[in-house]
Structure 1
């Protein structure tokens, strides 16, 4: 028996690799001779760098950048090499450059956070001769429209008094002029893929600020103020760069970093689909008996491009059975059930969320063991 274990992370409790290892142990406890292929996956958020480096036999680089609160911090970048490619592709993860988990909950305030570290990382990689980038836009702490990143890349933002602005969220409302010509010219010869499964535009009721601002610490009053500032910021960026991106799907990802990367010539791609292609998932499941995937919580929203559904689609293309095991399942699974050969929650009884998260690895292993005991009995 061959089983492919391709999980997303169980946010806050279990990495995709740890989930795969736990499921692998459970499968082999029932079928000792089973071949288990653990393929860590992610959707552009936390874990993307580790997943692609592991699967594509890449390497890591550590850079020193400015974190979301303005303090220097190390950041891990992935480097992957492809045959016939002119050079490596750098994989950046916003979650490790200006991520929400880098900011203590008591200090979360989108007025005080910046995406500057993303721009600094790109500059350092350009200096190393890299011209191919994939930027995963999940889990940011920022709502600066990518202003901090653009400032680090050479754009100049000034207020009415001519003072240069540093690029924090609170600076958006103070922009009087933008000088775009200072943007690093090497970006014109670079390819940038914007990996996200968020389709929000930059502004409006479904935009970056109004949908995601609260989780980054914005009060309702701050959200309203930031939304007005973001709209003016978009006017000025589009005027300086000579095109419009604010309504593009994904422009609102990572507090507007998607918008700024589009302005640099980036291309939005599905983070889950890009990683599935990068790890050659379809080829690796072609001769498998089962594919097991999962995430922290699955419900009808999962069908809108989330990673487990992308895994199920790849399995369907190869005629391989696919099982979903998640921390919890929504009450109405509807169309989700049609995508999988079985959907299961690993939680056995009513229990506090904190306890579930602490026991996630054990619960997953127990559930997989029981399911494969059932499969053994049915043979």
Structure 2
């Protein structure tokens, strides 16, 4: 038989590649001769680079860049065939770089993500895939633009300080120094939200609180992003603040769309394309996908549903193997997932579940393989 294993990571527990390997080990205890294709997946957030490299090959590169609070951090990105680069902003500007007590969405910057784009340009990239999940930032992509050569100036002609709150003092945007190589590069943004830049569904209101913004700071940041959009519209002659998705990653999607001319696609679709998931499914008997938690919200752009769409097109059934099942997970049956299984063997703590995730994945995969074998005999 041919099995395709295409899971996302189990956050804070196992990478997508480790999840796929554990499932494969369990399956082989029942089907030692099975043809197994591992296709680790991601949705554009943390783990995207490693998932793409594990599935399609390529080179993992590292670079010291500006972190969210201005300190240097060691970030990674991927170099693929045909002059393609894959970057996840979380590697440079992610929330994990900022301790909970230090989180302040007014101050964090996307400059490091811009520095990763510069590295890709230096390497000769003609296509850049930019995953923008997991950010610590709310600066509308201002730091990214500054890293790429744009000047954001106050009324005195001085460069703005880092962070989203500083944007309220923006007077003029000078794009003359923007790196000219950007005009020859296709930029694809992997994003799974359709939020505008400002307002009740905008970057500050929806995502600011998880990045450390108190209610009054949310309002401050929303006003600052609105002012940024005003100045940008005056500069470009077009207003991008209502384009679906520009509110992603604290508004980094806004800078990517308005200035870099990026196109937006669901993260799982982009990763599936780059990883060759559709080709891997040709002739497959079964697909196993999964993530840390499966619930009704998983319908909105999460990895298992994206994998199921590709599998449906190939006529291959899909089973989900997940850390836990939450409210409304049954809705995924209509999205192409035939069955879903949770790892937990009984009442255990989250910490216990995370520590033993690899072993539980192997055990559940073996159980599913036995059930598959029984069904095959009965058929």
What TM bracket, shorter-length normalisation?
over 0.9
Decide which of 298, 302, 306 is 2:298's aligned counterpart. 302
Map 1:118-137 → 2, pairs under 5 A = 118-137=113-132
Asked if the contact 2:165–2:220 (Cα under 8 Å) also holds between the matched residues in 1, the reply is no
User: Structure 1 residue 111 and structure 2 residue 111: aligned?
Assistant: no
Runs of 4+ off more than 4 Å? none
- Which stretch has the larger CA shift, 106-115 or 178-187? 178-187
**Correspondence for 1:347:** 344
1:127 positional shift: 2.9
Map 1:82-121 → 2, pairs under 5 A = 82=82, 88-121=83-116
Asked if the contact 1:61–1:76 (Cα under 8 Å) also holds between the matched residues in 2, the reply is yes
Decide which of 353, 361, 365 is 1:364's aligned counterpart. 361
Asked if the contact 2:107–2:162 (Cα under 8 Å) also holds between the matched residues in 1, the reply is no
CA distance in 1, matches of 2:285, 2:130: 34
CA distance in 2, matches of 1:270, 1:296: 19
Q: CA RMSD for the aligned pairs?
A: 1.5
1:129 positional shift: 2.8
**Correspondence for 2:283:** 287
Query: Which deviations, in whole Å up to 9, do the C-alpha atoms of 1:257-305 show, x marking residues without a partner?
Result: 1110001211111111111111111111121111000111111221222
Provide the TM-score with structure 1 as the length reference. Answer: 0.94
Asked if the contact 2:296–2:329 (Cα under 8 Å) also holds between the matched residues in 1, the reply is yes
1:247 positional shift: 1.3
User: Structure 1 residue 181 and structure 2 residue 169: aligned?
Assistant: no
Structure 1 counterpart SS, 2:29: helix
1:126 positional shift: 2.1
1:334 positional shift: 4.1
Structure 1 counterpart SS, 2:217: helix
- Gaps in structure 2 of 5+ consecutive residues: none
Structure 1 counterpart SS, 2:291: coil
**Correspondence for 1:273:** 269
CA distance in 2, matches of 1:90, 1:346: 35
- Which stretch has the larger CA shift, 341-350 or 286-295? 341-350
Kindly tell me: are residues 127 and 283 of structure 1, through their superposed partners in 2, closer, same or farther at Cα, counting changes over 3 Å?
Answer: closer
Asked if the contact 1:62–1:76 (Cα under 8 Å) also holds between the matched residues in 2, the reply is yes
**Correspondence for 1:227:** 222
Asked if the contact 2:187–2:261 (Cα under 8 Å) also holds between the matched residues in 1, the reply is yes
Provide the TM-score with structure 2 as the length reference. Answer: 0.94
Asked if the contact 1:157–1:165 (Cα under 8 Å) also holds between the matched residues in 2, the reply is yes
Asked if the contact 2:5–2:289 (Cα under 8 Å) also holds between the matched residues in 1, the reply is yes
Structure 1 counterpart SS, 2:96: helix
Asked if the contact 2:38–2:55 (Cα under 8 Å) also holds between the matched residues in 1, the reply is no
- Gaps in structure 1 of 5+ consecutive residues: 83-87
1:254 positional shift: 0.9
**Correspondence for 1:58:** 58
What is the aligned residue count? 374
Structure 1 counterpart SS, 2:107: coil
Map 1:1-379 → 2, pairs under 5 A = 1-82=1-82, 88-263=83-258, 264-338=260-334, 339-378=336-375, 379=377
